[in-house]
Amino acid sequence: MHRLAIHTITTKSWDLPTAAAKYRAAGVRGIGVWRQWLEGRSLNESRRILDDHGLSAVSLVRGGFFPYLSAQERQSAIDDNLRALDEAAAIGAPQVVLVCGAKPELPLSESRKHIEEGLAACLDHGRATGVRLSIEPLHPMYADCRSAINTLGQTNDLLDRLGSPPEIGIAADVYHLWWDPNLEAEIQRAGKRIIGFHVCDWLTPTADFLNDRGLMGEGCIDIKGIRRQVEATGFNGWIEVEIFSHRWWSHDPDEYLRRIVRAFEAHVEFP
């Protein structure tokens, strides 16, 4: 339980003060903050809300979306990532999770080139802020318009090419990676690069490309098995519950939070 963190998008109906109070009351100590939850108040005030509830900001979600169709788009993507690093630093989050982006209008190879350029353009500011960029490889079903980075192996190759900069790590989400026949080998290869671990579950059938993820234990992902592999790299950080679900969002949120805690205990924690 001391490693359980929840992303604010998971309990979508709660604003930051409500989520902070509810998480704390449930014994949850970590929070993954989506940037929409920072709107409408100063960063200092958001930080105070977290501090007042004894919550650690585990990650700021999300940066990325580097591919562009114009020079202006290119620059605004980079600016937005630099801003995200500032925001993360302000609320005490050690990493910005990156959904790297993809444009259906571009060849995949071009989107991938834009991502490498974009990452490189953020390294200095990452170093300056002390916040790491965390690449989240996304499931191949998102390769058209969300991320052209789709496997852990590809992420490892990319980081090799960039010279393994310490400013960049990897967020490993079981939802995106569970199917990969090379997963175990690539987790070993990633090693200390893995700085984030996200959990949820894959439902059969899945009704919606985006918003039909399952609570841990509802689906077919071997979450404990993947966790074991990730922790064999030395990872002992937060375990972040990130669930997009129309079904759960329409549930009573207090009851849902209790279910999240129970699912974490039953399907993520080791006996």
Would you tell me which residues interact with a copy of itself (CB under 8 A)?
104-105, 107-108, 112, 139-141, 143-145, 150-151, 153-154, 157, 178-182, 202, 204-206, 209, 219-220, 222, 225
Q: Which is nearer to a copy of itself, 41 or 189 (CB)?
A: 189
Q: Give me the least distance between CB of 17 and a copy of itself, in Å please.
A: 34
What is the nearest approach in angstroms of a copy of itself to the Cβ of residue 248?
19
For residue 205, say if its preceding peptide bond is cis, omega within 30 degrees of 0: yes
Crossing angle of helices 16-25 and 253-267, rounded to 10°: 50
Smallest separation, CB 220 to a copy of itself (Å): 4
**9 φ/ψ angles, rounded to the nearest 5 degrees:** -65, -25
**Residue 88 CB contacts under 8 Å (≥ 6 apart), including other chains:** 57, 59, 60, 94, 95, 96, 129, 131
CA 25 to chain centre: 24
Decide whether 141 or 266 has the Cβ nearer to a copy of itself: 141
Minimum distance, C-beta of residue 131 to a copy of itself, in the bound complex (Å): 27
Please state the closest distance from residue 77 (CB atom) to a copy of itself, in A: 19
Contact of 174 with 226, CB cutoff 8 Å? yes
